[in-house]
A and B are shown apart, each in its own frame.
Chain A
Amino acid sequence: MQPELILLRFGELTLKGKNRTRFEDMIISHIRNLNQDHPEMRIIKTFGRVYIQLNGAPYEKVAGQLKKVFGLRSFSPVMRAELDLEDVKRKALQVMRSLPKKPVTFKVSARRSYKDFPYNSMEINQHVSGYVLSHTPGLKVDVHSPEVELWVEVRQEGVYVFSDIVYGPGGFPLGSNGKAMLMLSGGIDSPVAGWQAMRRGLRIEAVHFHSYPYTSERAKQKVIDLTRKLSEYSNEMRLHIVPFTDIQTGLKEQAPEKLLITLMRRAMFRITERLAEQNGAMAIITGESLGQVASQTLSSLNTIERAVAMPILRPLITTDKIDIIRTAEEIGTYEISILPYEDCCTIFQPRNPSTNPKLSFVEKVEQRLNWMEERITAAVEHTETMVIRRGEREEQAVDDLF
């Protein structure tokens, strides 16, 4: 069935006044952005509701894009019927038939704002329920807690029929809560952390540490592909690639082996903090989850975090790996993450990394590394910034070959 309209419902209904309108507008803007292929689509605000008027745009495709719109709690495809009871009945049955899961119980809720319609709400309820029941064996009416509520709204311009409900991602509109830098490693966790941050309204820019020649072009490509995947939810995303080789080799030469990871992570955070300041971001996001690896024990997190003052947000801190993987599969980053190209953390892996580094000792060691400050500044200066756009490939020159 091709619905004509989509009714949108926004989350966080506790928002009132100006914020609510502003957030609605941001969501609408995001929807337009994700549906640039369909300029015929219109978004209308009417009677306190927001609808998408499809005007021929394919519902399935638009619905797919709506599932990426942060701040959208749910939406419903709406069929429009003429001001004729027979048409209303037919459309109602169509809506029921197109539900992904066939319900066992339902109820009809009719509302009539157009008083010239020859039937009142009660009568509409009865006629429509009767028609749907007689054409749907096994279906029953339950007025108290039906699985599906079939709305029939009689308005002046026509009758709108719809049922529940397709869930959106929830959260806050894209970018409505500020900007943060995501430390993107190429593993399974950091892209999921990034997506969760985006869903909660943070606009993110990705930061990746690259140690050529110790890490490969393919590892870099993997991160670009992950960024592109994430940009599907926002339209474009900036990726900062930091040349980390000098710092890593310096640490490998001069620092105690057990502290290699700790010191490396501290340096990464310091660089990210500076990039954040340069780019107007107010927090750092990582995919750290408590206890997964040596650098993610509580003690390590404590010691490493002290290298910076900026807030560090860890959306996955209490999430189980299996749930992280499931989300990664849902958002499409899992397949890319599991490609076997080494990221920088594993090459310089000590045999027994410290799981309990003492802050005072770490700070003392760091002080002795007098080249660190200089190399951090250099790394920030030589960072390559790419703008990754959804759907676009970085090499347009190659397009002609295809």
Chain B
Amino acid sequence: MVYFDYSATTPVHPDVAGSIYEVLTKYYGNPSSLHKLGVEAEKLVTRSREQMAALLQVPASTIIFTSGGTESNNMAIRGVAGMWRSRGRHIITTAVEHASVYDTCQRLAAYGFEVTVLPVDRFGRVDPKRVAEAVREDTILVSIMMVNNEVGTIQPIEQIAAELKRYPKVIFHVDAVQAAGKIPLYPGKLGVDLMSLSAHKFRGPKGIGLLYKREGLKIDPIITGGGQESGLRSGTENVPYIVGMAKAFRLAVQEQPAAYRRVSELRRALLEQIADIPGIELNSPRDEEKAVPHIVNISCAGMKSEVIVHALEQRGYYISSRSACSSQEHKPSRILLAMGLAEERASSGLRISLAQDHTPEQIEGLAKALRETVGELKQVMR
């Protein structure tokens, strides 16, 4: 069995699992307790925070632990909307955002918010100038992802931040869930106000993430109660997973440059080997500058992506169709449609995720399996 679905979730790194087990069994105190067990647990949380902050090169006070990318995105968007609604009710986002951003923005319409959804070009990229043009007197938030989870496009975050500098009242949130561990991530240097990360995308466990919130920025908490995380995110801290995330991120950042080079090679090999499979079209940007090499999105004309996913599974390869969060639906991919692809092509998207642990032999095997599958299915679907 070869797992090619890293963008849906990643296998937990064995060292990370070990740390989590240690903390789970030995350091079970509640960090808010007055006694020694509590103090020890609190120290682990503090140290994890410091480690994440050091890796992101930001002050420790800007890190807020959450239950994952979806919560971080909700916290950012609802938190800004709640705190700053008296300043304005206009939000700008793009057509290719993850559901936890897109959907959340749309739901705010019920509270009187207006959402501008910016279009993207055929590479899935948004134009920084158009972002600036969309800003109005009453705009309070811009939310744009850094790396697209379906096709891998890298958005020009730095340029967008530069454009938005002219509008100091506009808060800039970046969903960096698919960027973490793949490309360098320094929110302080990028000039963003809020940034979401999720551990299970960089070999940490599922159920833990963080929100970076620039020093001095006020947002409303969405989960209230005991006042943990400086009142911004109440709830007893998930100490084992917080430590796990810190360790996973340290490993990911350390290995990132070498991993990137290796995955780039693997991607080149894969694209070469599937180039002549009839009916297969590449949806991800071909240009290596425009997208991360880890995500390869293809469509197979006239074939149901679900069927291909199962057929490949039979042959021992796990990939995904569209994004994992919306696999239940048979609608065309919102992202592929936004990139200008026809409905049929947008409904037959397949996503292959590459990682540094894959071997050239496994790539060959996948390409071969894909070729065989397509060949067989073409016969059946006559």
Contacts and interface: CB of A to CB of B under 8 A. Distances in A.
B39 A218 contact: yes
Given A402-B51, A402-B247, A217 B19 contact: no
29 contacts: A216-B34, A217-B34, A217-B35, A217-B36, A217-B39, A218-B34, A218-B39, A221-B39, A221-B43, A393-B47, A395-B43, A398-B43, A398-B44, A398-B47, A400-B19, A401-B19, A401-B22, A401-B23, A401-B44, A401-B243, A401-B247, A402-B19, A402-B47, A402-B48, A402-B51, A402-B243, A402-B246, A402-B247, A402-B250
Interface in A214-266: 216-218, 221
A218 B34 CA distance: 8
Interface in A357-400: 393, 395, 398, 400
Contacts of B39: 217-218, 221
Interface string A195-224: 000000000000000000000111001000
A51 B48 CA distance: 39
> Dominant SS at the A interface?
helix
Contacts of A395: 43
Interface string B113-132: 00000000000000000000
Interface in A168-207: none
Interface in B36-81: 36, 39, 43-44, 47-48, 51
Contacts of A216: 34
A341 to B, nearest CB: 10
B255 to A, nearest CB: 16
Contacts of B243: 401-402
Contacts of A393: 47
Interface of B: 19, 22-23, 34-36, 39, 43-44, 47-48, 51, 243, 246-247, 250
A400 B35 CA distance: 23
B359 to A, nearest CB: 30
A393 B51 CA distance: 13
Interface in A42-75: none
A264 B22 CA distance: 44
Nearest 9 pairs of A and B residues by beta carbon:
A401-B19, A217-B39, A402-B247, A401-B243, A402-B246, A401-B22, A402-B51, A217-B36, A216-B34
A371 B43 CA distance: 39
Contacts of B34: 216-218
Contacts of B250: 402
A59 B5 CA distance: 44
Contacts of B247: 401-402
A395 B47 CA distance: 12
A393 B47 CA distance: 10
A393 B34 CA distance: 21
A221 B36 CA distance: 11
A398 B246 CA distance: 13
Given A395-B43, A402-B250, 12 more contacts: A218-B39, A221-B39, A393-B47, A398-B44, A398-B47, A400-B19, A401-B19, A401-B243, A401-B247, A402-B47, A402-B51, A402-B247
A398 B40 CA distance: 10
Nearest to A394: B43
Contacts of A401: 19, 22-23, 44, 243, 247
A402 to B, nearest CB: 5
B310 to A, nearest CB: 40
Central interface residue in A395, A398, A402, by most chain B CB within 10 Å: A402
A282 to B, nearest CB: 36
A374 to B, nearest CB: 30
Contacts of B43: 221, 395, 398
Nearest to A393: B47
B27 to A, nearest CB: 8
Interface string A110-128: 0000000000000000000
Contacts of A217: 34-36, 39
Contacts of A402: 19, 47-48, 51, 243, 246-247, 250
Contacts of B36: 217
Contacts of B48: 402
A223 to B, nearest CB: 14
Nearest to B26: A401
A216 to B, nearest CB: 6
Contacts of A221: 39, 43
A216 B38 CA distance: 12
A218 B246 CA distance: 23
A27 B48 CA distance: 35
Contacts of A400: 19
A253 B19 CA distance: 49
Contacts of A218: 34, 39
A58 to B, nearest CB: 14
B52 to A, nearest CB: 10
A221 B47 CA distance: 14
A217 B39 CA distance: 7
